[in-house]
Amino acid sequence: MDSFDSKTRQNVDPFNGLNYESYLALRKNVRDWENLGESGQGKDEKISLVCYNILCPETFKRCLYLYDHLVHTGLLHFASWSKRFKSLVEELKSFNADIICMQEVHMNCYSDFENSLKYAYDGIYRKKNFSYCHDGCAIFYRKDRFKKVFYEDVEFVVKGNKYLDYPHIGQVLVLKSRKTGGKFIVANTHLIFRSEKGDIRLGQAVRLLASVHRLIQEKKYPKDIPFIFCGDCNSEPNSGFYRFMADSRLNIDRLTSDEVSNYDTPGNKLVDMRTIVPPQLDITRRSIYRTFDRAESPVDRQLVTHPFHFKSVYDESINDNSKVGISTYHLRSGHPDFIFYSNSIENEAKSGTSSDSDDDIQVVYDSTQNYQPMQIVPIRRLGLPSLGNLSKLEKWPNEWVPSDHIPLVVEFELRKITGNEQNGSTAGSSNAKI
C-alpha cells in the first residue's frame, strides 16, 4: 500500500481494499458506484445498507482447503484475525452506512466490533444454535437515525427431525426513522452452506419469510411496510432459490437439490416438499403460518410460494453468466450474497393459489399507530467485479481484501407515499426496473 504515489491515492479509496489492489495491478477500479434510479433530490430520506460475510476465524481454520493461495505461498499472516479485524473495521467505517448486516461473526469477536462501532451504532448479535458453532449474525444501525421498534431471532432447527437438525438462524429487526417516523423491516441471515442441501436452504428461507409475515400480522403493520432481506444465501444467480425469491414461487417438480443453489457440484437428489415445509412446522406451502393463512395452499402440490414482492438490488436475472458480478473468490468463485427488497405483500392470484382475492392474506393494521405509508427505492449500489477482472488479481482474503467475500452496499430512499401513489404504485413489483 505504501507504494502508491499521491496521484494514485486521489483515484482510489484507501479503505476499499479490492480497488486498492486492482489499481496496483490493472490501473483501474473494479468496483464503482452504479446509479439505479432517480433520487428524490433531498426530499426523501436516504438509507444506506451494507451486507457483509466477514469470514469467521474458526471457519477459516476449518476450511483451509479453500485458501491454497495463502497456505502454499507462505502468506497465511495476511489472514491473521488481528490484521483482518483492523481492515474490516476501517472498511466499515469508510462506508458510513446506516445499517450493517454481518454474517460469520465469531461470538468472541462481536464485542470487538461493538466497541469499535459504538461511537455511532447500536448492535444486535445472535450466535447460531448448538455449542459447537462459534459464529452468528449481527445487525448494527445508527442510533441517531433509527429507533429499534421490535427484534426477534428466527431459529431454523426443526426439533425431532434429524434431517433438519441444523443450527442456522435469522434476525428480524423493525426500525423507525427518527426523522420521518417511517418504519421498515430488515432481515439478516446466513443459510446452510453445503451444496447438496439446496432443499434445506430453501426451507430455511421459507421459515424466515413466514416469521416476517407473522410479525406483520401480529403487530398489525400494513401490508405495504418496506422489507429488506439480505445475507449470505449460499445460492447462485439463476438458481432455484433466486427464482423463488424474485418470482414469489418455485415449482420443485423434478428439481434437484443442487439446482436450487446452481452450484457446479454433483447432487442429483430430488427436492422433497417435506424438507422445505416439514410437517412439524405449522407453515403452509405459501410460506405463511397456518394461523394466518385463510386461503388454500397452491393447487399444484409441487409449488412453493411466498407472499412478498421482492426485487434484487443486484439484479442478477440475466442469461449471460459471464456478466454476473462476483462477491466471493477463493478456491471457488460466485455470487451467494443478496439484498432483496419488497414494498408490498404479493397478490395471491400471482402466487399460484386457488384463490384470486387479496383478502386471503388478511393484513389488518391498527389506525391508532398513525402509520405513514412508505416505500423503499434503491438509488445506487457499489458494483461487483467480473470474474474476468478478478482472474488477474489475488484470491480472497489477501493483503488488501480482509474476507473471502466483499460487501454488498446499497443506498435506498425511504419515500412517503401519497394517496394516488398508494393506489397505483408499482415500486417493488415484478414489473419495476431498477
Region of poorest pLDDT, from 30-34, 305-309, 317-321, 323-327 = 317-321
CB neighbours of residue 201 within 10 Å: 27
Among 136, 78, 62, CA closest to 106: 136
Least confident of 35-44, 69-78, 252-261, 344-353: 344-353
Write the single-letter amino acid at 380. Answer: R
User: Is the model more confident about 25 or about 213?
Assistant: 213
Q: Check whether 192 has a pLDDT greater than 80.
A: yes
pLDDT at site 427: 41
Q: In the chain, what percentage of residues exceed pLDDT 70?
A: 82
Residue 380: which of 30, 46, 14 has the closest Cα?
46
Cis peptide before 397 (omega within 30 of 0): yes
Domain identity same for 10 and 126: no
132 lies in some domain: yes
Which pLDDT tens digit goes with each residue over 116-157? 999 999 999 999 999 899 999 999 999 999 999 999 999 999
pLDDT beyond 80 at 351: no
Instruction: Give dist(CA 47, CA 49) in Å, integer.
Output: 7
55 dihedral zone (left: phi>0; alpha: psi -120 to 50; beta): left
CATH number at residue 214: 3.60.10.10
Are residues 5 and 72 both part of a single domain? Answer: no
Is 266 a member of any domain?
yes
Entry pTM: 0.89
pLDDT over 90 percentage in the chain = 65
The reply to whether 150 and 50 lie within a common domain is: yes
Specify the pLDDT at position 323.
67
316 and 362 fall within a common domain: yes
Same domain, 20 and 87: no
Instruction: Say which residues have a Cβ less than 8 Å from residue 416's Cβ, sequence separation at least 6.
Output: 44, 180, 182, 372, 373, 374
- Cβ atoms 113, 123 nearer than 8 A: yes
Asked if residue 341 is part of any domain, the answer here is: yes
Residue 355: pLDDT over 70: no
Provide the domain count of the chain: 2
- Residue the block writes with cell 461473526: 105
Do residues 18 and 111 share a domain?
no
170 and 131, same structural domain? yes
Average pLDDT for residues 22-28, to the nearest whole number? 86
Per-chain mean pLDDT for the chain: 85
Evaluate whether residue 431 is within a structural domain.
no
What pLDDT, on a 0 to 100 scale, did the predictor assign at position 27?
84
User: Which range among 237-241, 296-300, 316-320 has the greatest average pLDDT?
Assistant: 237-241
Q: Let me know if residue 297 belongs to a domain.
A: yes
Residues 111 and 19 in one domain: no
**Residue 179 vs residue 431, higher pLDDT:** 179
Give the range of the structural domain holding residue 291, as residue numbers without chain letter.
31-421
**What is the rounded average pLDDT of the residues 175-201?**
93
Tell me, yes or no, whether 238 and 367 share the same domain.
yes
